[in-house]
Amino acid sequence: MLSKVAERVYWAARYLERIESTARLVSIYDKLLFDLPKQVNLGWYNLIVINSLEQDFADRYSNQDERNVVKFLLGDETNPGSVVSSLHAIRENIRTTRDVVPAETWELVNELSSYVTDHLQQGINRSARHEFLDYVIQSCQQIEGLLGSCMPRDEGWKILMLGQNIERADMTTRNLDAGIAAILQIEEDDYAVNSRQTIWGNVLRSLNADQPFRRAMRSSISGEPVVKFLTCDTYFPRSVVYCLSEMIESAEALPHSKDVIKAIKKVHKSVIESSEHKDFGAEYRDVLNDLQVAIQQLHFVIGQTWFLTDR
């Protein structure tokens, strides 16, 4: 497989995952608003902070309100991680890899692009946001399903899986971070316990993890089991450890993968170790931040191993 094609497939997978995750992230906050007591003043701006987009956001908006945050995350072309920008990137990547992905991928991506372009306002206004986000998430799953049922399990697939899992691992840490950021805003009052539970519950739901969590942990919802589940569960496909294990498996099937495997295993080990934490508040956000940096490092190792065409 051509190095350049590999790089594009990898990015297509990352962007696809990013679109779905961004839609999920917005939907957590959207749903939280229904359930939290009215006294809680939830900051939409947290979503900008956890995605490390403060500077980009400040360049565009002064008012850190819901409308601007949602607009920035869904429809802003100057934000490289917005749904609209990611769709643009995914189209370019699929267009240039049409020889390795199933032909229908291109059609589905075009359909999703047209939908997002035509219905963006729905996503920004709160009244129809749920429907919009649902459509986006379902379309991403449809594309994933197509790839999963049609692609030969060759190098192209392994690269695709690397892209999907690295993005998933990263986004799971950001979802956790979003939850913790919201919890830190809750004041200690009569509603605090309930509010915390509501927030953790929504973090789980946003990752489709509530049912698997109940069955695996047999516990009520609170910080410690939720964080442990989302970082270290070995069966749940969005847990950080699971994603890293998948990456190891994909890398093992690819040529010249020794350095990549070694690097992933190192991150894997550090995730397990950090789950020994007891307090999942402000301090744990630093742990998550370090993890995000480590995942970014993995990305560089992958690029150096397989993508650089000037090797």
Q: Which is nearer to other proteins, 1 or 42 (CB)?
A: 1
**In the complex, least distance from residue 242 CB atom to other proteins, rounded to whole angstroms:** 24
Contacts of residue 90, defined as CB under 8 A and 6 or more positions apart, other chains included, come to 12, 15, 16, 19, 109
Q: Which is nearer to other proteins, 65 or 111 (CB)?
A: 111
**Chain residues in the site for other proteins (CB under 8 A):** 1-6, 92, 95-96, 98-99, 103, 106-107, 110-111, 114, 155, 159, 254-256, 306, 309, 311
Q: Which is nearer to other proteins, 103 or 193 (CB)?
A: 103
Phi, psi of 239 (to 5 degrees): -70, 150
**In the complex, least distance from residue 110 CB atom to other proteins, rounded to whole angstroms:** 5
Question: CA–CA separation, 290 vs 158, rounded Å?
Answer: 26
**In the complex, least distance from residue 111 CB atom to other proteins, rounded to whole angstroms:** 5
Q: DSSP string of 229-293?
A: HHHH-SS-TTSHHHHHHHHHHHHHTSTT-HHHHHHHHHHHHHHHHHTT-S--SHHHHHHHHHHHH
**In the complex, least distance from residue 11 CB atom to other proteins, rounded to whole angstroms:** 14
**In the complex, least distance from residue 306 CB atom to other proteins, rounded to whole angstroms:** 4
Q: Which is nearer to other proteins, 95 or 215 (CB)?
A: 95
Q: Which is nearer to other proteins, 38 or 311 (CB)?
A: 311
Q: Which amino acid is at 8?
A: R
188-209 as b/e, with b when 16 or more CB fall inside 10 Å?
eeebeeebbbbbbbbbbbbbeb
Cβ proximity of 165 and 248 under 8 Å: no
